[in-house]
Amino acid sequence: TIYLDNNATTPMHEDVIEAVNEANTLFGNASSMHSYGREAAMAIEESRKALASLIDCDPSSIVFTSGASESNNTVFNIFRERIDLGSKRNRIVTTTIEHPSINELVKYLKNLGYHVDECPVDHSGRVDLEVMKTYLGEDVALVSVMAGNNEIGTIQPVKEIARLAHEVGAYMHSDATQAIGKIPVSMRNWDVDYLSLSGHKFYGPKGIGVLAVKAKAPHTPLIHGGHQEGGRRAGTYNTASIVGIGVAAALAERDLEEESKKLWTLREMLRKGIEERIPNVVVNGNQEYCLPGTLDVSFPHAEGESILLYLDMEGIMVSTGSACASGSLEPSYVLLASGVDIELAHGSIRFSFGRYNTEDDVAYVLEKLPPIIKRLREMSTR
Interaction site with ligand PLP (CB under 6 A): 67-69, 99, 101, 146, 150, 175, 177-178, 198, 200, 209
CB atoms within 10 A of CB 155: 23
Q: Please report how close the Cβ of residue 335 comes to ligand PLP at its closest, in angstroms.
A: 15
| Contacts for 201 with CB less than 8 Å, ≥ 6 apart | 6, 7, 9, 10, 68, 177, 178, 180, 181
Contact 50, 243 (CB under 8 A): no
Contact 94, 114 (CB under 8 A): no
Q: Please report how close the Cβ of residue 105 comes to ligand PLP at its closest, in angstroms.
A: 11
Q: Please report how close the Cβ of residue 212 comes to ligand PLP at its closest, in angstroms.
A: 14
CA distances from 86 to 6, 83, 94, 161, 347 (A): 42, 5, 21, 26, 46
Q: Report the distance separating Cα 23 and Cα 328, nearest Å.
A: 39
Q: Please report how close the Cβ of residue 347 comes to ligand PLP at its closest, in angstroms.
A: 22
Q: Please report how close the Cβ of residue 85 comes to ligand PLP at its closest, in angstroms.
A: 27
Distance of CA 107 to the CA centre of its chain: 19
Q: Report the distance separating Cα 180 and Cα 171, nearest Å.
A: 22
Contact 175, 147 (CB under 8 A): yes
Q: What's the order of all strands across the beta sheet hosting 140-144?
A: 62-65, 209-213, 194-198, 171-175, 140-144, 91-95, 115-119
R_g over Cα of the chain = 21
User: Which residue is nearest to ligand PLP, using beta carbons?
Assistant: 67
Distance of CA 76 to the CA centre of its chain: 16
Catalytic position from the list 57, 119, 290, 324: 324
324 catalytic? Reply is: yes
Q: Which residues are catalytic?
A: 324
